[in-house]
Amino acid sequence: MSYLVLARKWRPKLFSEVVGQNHVVQALQNSILNEKINQAYIFNGTRGVGKTSIARILTKVLNCEDVKKGEPCDKCNQCLALNENSLIDFQEIDAASRRSREETMNLLETVPYLPASSKYKVYLIDEVHMLTKESFNALLKTLEEPPPHVIFMFATTEIEKVPATILSRCLQLNLRLVSEEEIIDQLSKIFIHENIKFDEASLKIISKAASGSMRDALTISEKVVSYCNEDLKKEDVQNVLGIPNEEKVFKLLDILKDKDTTALVNFFEDYDENDSCQNLLESLMNVIQEVSLLQFSKSQDSNL
Protein backbone atom coordinates (compact mmCIF):
# COMPACT_ATOMS: atom_id res chain seq x y z
CA MET A 1 0.00 0.00 0.00
CA SER A 2 1.33 3.45 -0.93
CA TYR A 3 2.20 5.83 1.89
CA LEU A 4 -0.54 8.21 3.01
CA VAL A 5 0.39 11.52 4.59
CA LEU A 6 -1.07 12.08 8.06
CA ALA A 7 -3.59 14.68 6.89
CA ARG A 8 -5.15 12.18 4.47
CA LYS A 9 -4.78 9.10 6.65
CA TRP A 10 -6.48 10.79 9.60
CA ARG A 11 -9.13 12.68 7.66
CA PRO A 12 -12.40 12.05 9.54
CA LYS A 13 -14.77 9.54 7.97
CA LEU A 14 -17.44 9.70 10.67
CA PHE A 15 -19.05 12.59 12.52
CA SER A 16 -17.58 11.22 15.76
CA GLU A 17 -14.07 11.68 14.32
CA VAL A 18 -14.50 15.39 13.53
CA VAL A 19 -12.38 17.56 15.84
CA GLY A 20 -13.59 20.83 17.30
CA GLN A 21 -16.89 21.23 15.45
CA ASN A 22 -19.40 19.64 17.82
CA HIS A 23 -21.96 22.40 17.23
CA VAL A 24 -22.04 21.69 13.49
CA VAL A 25 -22.02 17.91 13.89
CA GLN A 26 -24.85 18.05 16.44
CA ALA A 27 -26.97 20.28 14.20
CA LEU A 28 -26.53 17.95 11.22
CA GLN A 29 -27.20 14.77 13.19
CA ASN A 30 -30.34 16.28 14.73
CA SER A 31 -31.66 17.21 11.28
CA ILE A 32 -30.94 13.69 10.03
CA LEU A 33 -32.64 12.02 12.98
CA ASN A 34 -35.65 14.33 12.54
CA GLU A 35 -35.63 13.70 8.77
CA LYS A 36 -35.29 17.41 8.05
CA ILE A 37 -32.92 17.40 5.09
CA ASN A 38 -32.03 20.69 3.42
CA GLN A 39 -31.34 20.79 -0.29
CA ALA A 40 -28.49 23.27 0.05
CA TYR A 41 -25.81 23.63 2.73
CA ILE A 42 -22.95 26.10 2.99
CA PHE A 43 -19.98 25.41 5.25
CA ASN A 44 -18.04 28.50 6.24
CA GLY A 45 -14.65 28.61 7.97
CA THR A 46 -10.93 29.06 7.57
CA ARG A 47 -8.77 26.46 5.87
CA GLY A 48 -8.29 23.03 7.40
CA VAL A 49 -11.10 23.08 9.97
CA GLY A 50 -13.24 20.36 8.38
CA LYS A 51 -15.58 21.97 5.82
CA THR A 52 -15.25 19.46 2.98
CA SER A 53 -14.69 16.54 5.36
CA ILE A 54 -18.01 17.23 7.10
CA ALA A 55 -19.71 17.66 3.71
CA ARG A 56 -18.41 14.26 2.60
CA ILE A 57 -19.57 12.61 5.83
CA LEU A 58 -23.00 14.20 5.39
CA THR A 59 -23.09 12.81 1.85
CA LYS A 60 -22.39 9.35 3.23
CA VAL A 61 -25.16 9.66 5.80
CA LEU A 62 -27.68 10.77 3.17
CA ASN A 63 -26.91 7.78 0.96
CA CYS A 64 -25.81 5.18 3.52
CA GLU A 65 -27.64 1.84 3.50
CA ASP A 66 -27.42 1.40 7.28
CA VAL A 67 -27.49 4.73 9.14
CA LYS A 68 -27.40 4.43 12.93
CA LYS A 69 -27.94 7.39 15.26
CA GLY A 70 -27.07 9.88 12.56
CA GLU A 71 -23.78 8.17 11.64
CA PRO A 72 -22.92 6.40 8.37
CA CYS A 73 -22.01 2.72 8.68
CA ASP A 74 -18.82 3.28 6.63
CA LYS A 75 -19.14 -0.31 5.40
CA CYS A 76 -21.89 -0.37 2.77
CA ASN A 77 -21.27 0.07 -0.96
CA GLN A 78 -22.28 3.73 -0.86
CA CYS A 79 -19.91 4.62 1.99
CA LEU A 80 -17.00 2.64 0.56
CA ALA A 81 -17.47 4.15 -2.89
CA LEU A 82 -17.31 7.68 -1.49
CA ASN A 83 -14.23 6.82 0.59
CA GLU A 84 -12.57 5.60 -2.61
CA ASN A 85 -13.72 8.66 -4.59
CA SER A 86 -15.66 6.42 -6.96
CA LEU A 87 -19.26 7.31 -6.05
CA ILE A 88 -20.76 8.31 -9.38
CA ASP A 89 -23.56 10.32 -7.76
CA PHE A 90 -21.12 12.59 -5.91
CA GLN A 91 -19.25 15.39 -7.62
CA GLU A 92 -16.67 17.58 -5.87
CA ILE A 93 -15.82 20.71 -7.81
CA ASP A 94 -13.10 23.28 -7.14
CA ALA A 95 -14.64 26.65 -7.95
CA ALA A 96 -11.21 28.27 -7.96
CA SER A 97 -10.34 26.44 -11.19
CA ARG A 98 -13.85 25.91 -12.60
CA ARG A 99 -15.53 29.25 -12.06
CA SER A 100 -16.90 30.30 -15.45
CA ARG A 101 -20.58 30.39 -16.38
CA GLU A 102 -20.02 27.82 -19.13
CA GLU A 103 -18.51 25.31 -16.70
CA THR A 104 -21.31 25.94 -14.20
CA MET A 105 -23.95 25.43 -16.91
CA ASN A 106 -22.29 22.16 -17.96
CA LEU A 107 -22.54 21.00 -14.36
CA LEU A 108 -26.16 22.09 -13.96
CA GLU A 109 -27.18 20.24 -17.12
CA THR A 110 -26.62 16.97 -15.22
CA VAL A 111 -28.88 17.99 -12.31
CA PRO A 112 -32.24 16.76 -13.75
CA TYR A 113 -30.97 13.19 -14.23
CA LEU A 114 -31.84 10.73 -11.48
CA PRO A 115 -29.05 9.22 -9.33
CA ALA A 116 -27.41 6.10 -10.77
CA SER A 117 -27.27 4.11 -7.54
CA SER A 118 -27.80 6.50 -4.62
CA LYS A 119 -30.76 8.14 -2.94
CA TYR A 120 -29.33 11.61 -3.63
CA LYS A 121 -27.01 13.19 -6.15
CA VAL A 122 -24.69 15.49 -4.25
CA TYR A 123 -22.75 18.41 -5.71
CA LEU A 124 -20.00 19.75 -3.45
CA ILE A 125 -18.55 23.05 -4.67
CA ASP A 126 -15.42 24.04 -2.77
CA GLU A 127 -14.29 27.69 -2.56
CA VAL A 128 -17.71 28.64 -3.93
CA HIS A 129 -16.97 32.36 -3.43
CA MET A 130 -14.64 32.11 -6.44
CA LEU A 131 -17.52 31.63 -8.90
CA THR A 132 -18.19 34.51 -11.27
CA LYS A 133 -21.32 36.65 -10.99
CA GLU A 134 -22.71 34.93 -14.09
CA SER A 135 -22.06 31.51 -12.53
CA PHE A 136 -23.90 32.50 -9.36
CA ASN A 137 -26.86 33.72 -11.42
CA ALA A 138 -27.02 30.40 -13.26
CA LEU A 139 -26.75 28.48 -9.99
CA LEU A 140 -29.48 30.57 -8.36
CA LYS A 141 -32.10 29.40 -10.85
CA THR A 142 -31.48 25.78 -9.87
CA LEU A 143 -31.36 26.55 -6.13
CA GLU A 144 -34.77 28.22 -6.34
CA GLU A 145 -36.43 24.96 -7.42
CA PRO A 146 -33.99 22.06 -7.01
CA PRO A 147 -35.11 18.55 -7.98
CA PRO A 148 -35.93 16.42 -4.89
CA HIS A 149 -33.08 14.00 -5.64
CA VAL A 150 -30.34 16.69 -5.59
CA ILE A 151 -28.38 18.17 -2.67
CA PHE A 152 -25.98 21.09 -3.07
CA MET A 153 -23.14 21.62 -0.61
CA PHE A 154 -20.86 24.63 -0.70
CA ALA A 155 -17.64 25.34 1.18
CA THR A 156 -16.06 28.75 1.52
CA THR A 157 -13.38 30.62 3.43
CA GLU A 158 -14.85 34.00 2.44
CA ILE A 159 -18.59 33.87 2.94
CA GLU A 160 -18.92 37.64 2.59
CA LYS A 161 -18.22 37.19 -1.15
CA VAL A 162 -21.16 34.82 -1.63
CA PRO A 163 -24.29 36.66 -2.85
CA ALA A 164 -27.09 37.06 -0.31
CA THR A 165 -29.50 35.46 -2.78
CA ILE A 166 -27.45 32.25 -2.62
CA LEU A 167 -26.99 32.35 1.16
CA SER A 168 -30.72 32.78 1.75
CA ARG A 169 -31.36 29.43 0.08
CA CYS A 170 -28.76 27.51 2.11
CA LEU A 171 -28.46 26.19 5.63
CA GLN A 172 -25.39 28.10 6.80
CA LEU A 173 -22.99 26.24 9.11
CA ASN A 174 -20.10 28.24 10.55
CA LEU A 175 -17.05 26.22 11.56
CA ARG A 176 -14.82 27.67 14.25
CA LEU A 177 -11.06 27.53 14.74
CA VAL A 178 -10.00 24.35 16.50
CA SER A 179 -8.64 25.14 19.97
CA GLU A 180 -5.03 24.40 20.87
CA GLU A 181 -6.23 21.94 23.52
CA GLU A 182 -8.31 20.02 20.95
CA ILE A 183 -5.39 19.93 18.52
CA ILE A 184 -3.01 18.69 21.25
CA ASP A 185 -5.46 15.97 22.25
CA GLN A 186 -5.90 14.77 18.66
CA LEU A 187 -2.16 14.85 17.88
CA SER A 188 -1.46 12.88 21.05
CA LYS A 189 -3.88 10.14 19.95
CA ILE A 190 -2.42 10.05 16.44
CA PHE A 191 1.22 9.96 17.57
CA ILE A 192 0.52 7.16 20.02
CA HIS A 193 -1.24 5.17 17.30
CA GLU A 194 1.61 5.84 14.84
CA ASN A 195 4.27 4.92 17.45
CA ILE A 196 5.78 8.40 17.31
CA LYS A 197 7.57 9.53 20.46
CA PHE A 198 6.88 13.07 21.63
CA ASP A 199 6.93 15.41 24.60
CA GLU A 200 4.10 17.73 25.63
CA ALA A 201 6.11 20.85 24.78
CA SER A 202 6.39 19.69 21.15
CA LEU A 203 2.63 19.29 20.86
CA LYS A 204 2.07 22.78 22.28
CA ILE A 205 4.44 24.31 19.72
CA ILE A 206 2.78 22.48 16.81
CA SER A 207 -0.74 23.35 17.99
CA LYS A 208 0.13 27.04 18.29
CA ALA A 209 1.79 27.06 14.85
CA ALA A 210 -1.35 25.49 13.33
CA SER A 211 -3.40 28.61 14.15
CA GLY A 212 -6.64 26.71 14.66
CA SER A 213 -6.35 24.44 11.61
CA MET A 214 -6.35 20.70 12.30
CA ARG A 215 -5.13 19.98 8.79
CA ASP A 216 -2.25 22.44 9.18
CA ALA A 217 -1.36 20.75 12.47
CA LEU A 218 -1.06 17.40 10.68
CA THR A 219 0.91 18.91 7.79
CA ILE A 220 3.32 20.54 10.25
CA SER A 221 3.56 17.26 12.17
CA GLU A 222 4.48 15.41 8.96
CA LYS A 223 7.37 17.82 8.40
CA VAL A 224 8.54 17.66 12.00
CA VAL A 225 8.30 13.86 12.26
CA SER A 226 10.43 13.43 9.13
CA TYR A 227 13.13 15.72 10.55
CA CYS A 228 13.07 14.28 14.06
CA ASN A 229 12.98 10.65 12.91
CA GLU A 230 9.75 9.93 14.83
CA ASP A 231 11.14 11.20 18.16
CA LEU A 232 9.85 14.72 18.74
CA LYS A 233 11.69 16.98 21.15
CA LYS A 234 10.94 20.61 21.87
CA GLU A 235 14.28 21.99 20.60
CA ASP A 236 14.08 20.04 17.33
CA VAL A 237 10.52 21.17 16.68
CA GLN A 238 11.54 24.79 17.28
CA ASN A 239 14.42 24.37 14.83
CA VAL A 240 12.22 22.88 12.10
CA LEU A 241 9.59 25.61 12.42
CA GLY A 242 12.08 28.44 12.85
CA ILE A 243 10.69 29.32 16.26
CA PRO A 244 13.19 31.04 18.60
CA ASN A 245 13.79 29.60 22.05
CA GLU A 246 12.47 31.35 25.14
CA GLU A 247 15.90 32.72 26.07
CA LYS A 248 16.04 34.85 22.91
CA VAL A 249 12.47 36.06 23.35
CA PHE A 250 12.96 37.14 26.97
CA LYS A 251 16.28 38.77 26.07
CA LEU A 252 14.49 40.89 23.45
CA LEU A 253 11.73 41.70 25.93
CA ASP A 254 14.28 42.94 28.47
CA ILE A 255 15.95 45.12 25.83
CA LEU A 256 12.62 46.68 24.88
CA LYS A 257 11.71 47.20 28.52
CA ASP A 258 15.02 48.99 29.12
CA LYS A 259 14.63 51.02 25.88
CA ASP A 260 18.24 50.15 25.02
CA THR A 261 18.55 50.96 21.29
CA THR A 262 22.23 49.92 21.11
CA ALA A 263 21.46 46.52 22.60
CA LEU A 264 18.51 46.20 20.19
CA VAL A 265 20.72 46.83 17.16
CA ASN A 266 23.30 44.35 18.47
CA PHE A 267 20.57 41.78 19.12
CA PHE A 268 19.40 41.77 15.50
CA GLU A 269 22.97 41.93 14.14
CA ASP A 270 23.71 38.72 16.03
CA TYR A 271 20.33 37.14 15.24
CA ASP A 272 20.58 33.89 13.29
CA GLU A 273 19.57 34.61 9.69
CA ASN A 274 18.03 31.13 9.49
CA ASP A 275 15.50 32.05 12.18
CA SER A 276 12.29 33.78 11.17
CA CYS A 277 11.92 37.36 12.42
CA GLN A 278 8.16 36.97 12.03
CA ASN A 279 8.21 33.95 14.37
CA LEU A 280 10.35 35.92 16.82
CA LEU A 281 7.88 38.81 16.89
CA GLU A 282 4.91 36.44 17.18
CA SER A 283 6.62 34.68 20.10
CA LEU A 284 7.29 38.06 21.69
CA MET A 285 3.62 39.05 21.32
CA ASN A 286 2.54 35.74 22.86
CA VAL A 287 4.82 36.30 25.87
CA ILE A 288 3.54 39.86 26.33
CA GLN A 289 -0.04 38.60 26.12
CA GLU A 290 0.59 35.84 28.67
CA VAL A 291 2.36 38.24 31.06
CA SER A 292 -0.48 40.77 30.70
CA LEU A 293 -3.11 38.12 31.42
CA LEU A 294 -1.12 36.93 34.43
CA GLN A 295 -0.84 40.46 35.81
CA PHE A 296 -4.54 41.09 35.21
CA SER A 297 -5.42 37.84 36.96
CA LYS A 298 -3.29 38.79 39.97
CA SER A 299 -4.87 42.24 40.17
CA GLN A 300 -8.34 40.68 40.07
CA ASP A 301 -7.41 38.24 42.84
CA SER A 302 -6.08 41.06 45.03
CA ASN A 303 -9.39 42.91 44.68
CA LEU A 304 -11.39 39.98 45.99
Domain that holds residue 255: 249-277
Are the beta carbons of 49 and 42 closer than 8 angstroms? Answer: no
- CATH label of the domain that carries residue 80: 3.40.50.300
Q: Are residues 96 and 169 in the same domain?
A: yes
Alpha-carbon span 176 to 18, nearest angstrom: 12
Strand partners, 156: 44
CB proximity list for 40: less than 8 A, separation 6 or greater = 143, 146, 151, 152, 153, 154, 169, 170, 171
With respect to residue 155, please indicate whether it lies within any of the assigned structural domains: yes
CB proximity list for 231: less than 8 A, separation 6 or greater = 196, 197, 198
All residue ranges of the chain with pLDDT < 70 are 1-2, 272-276, 298-304
Q: Are residues 89 and 32 in the same domain?
A: yes
Q: State the average pLDDT for the chain.
A: 89
Alpha-carbon span 19 to 12, nearest angstrom: 8
Q: Are residues 142 and 253 in the same domain?
A: no
Q: Are residues 40 and 130 in the same domain?
A: yes
CB proximity list for 67: less than 8 A, separation 6 or greater = 32, 61, 73
Q: Are residues 76 and 202 in the same domain?
A: no
Q: Are residues 71 and 157 in the same domain?
A: yes
What dihedral do alpha carbons 4, 61, 176, 42 form, nearest 10°? 110
List pLDDT tens digits, range 79-114.
Answer: 999 999 999 999 999 998 877 888 888 889 999 999
With respect to residue 128, please indicate whether it lies within any of the assigned structural domains: yes
Q: Are residues 112 and 203 in the same domain?
A: no
With respect to residue 1, please indicate whether it lies within any of the assigned structural domains: no
With respect to residue 286, please indicate whether it lies within any of the assigned structural domains: no
Q: How many helices (H) and strands (E) does the chain have?
A: 14, 5
List pLDDT tens digits, range 235-285.
Answer: 888 888 888 777 777 888 888 888 888 888 888 877 766 566 777 787 788
pTM, entire model:
0.85
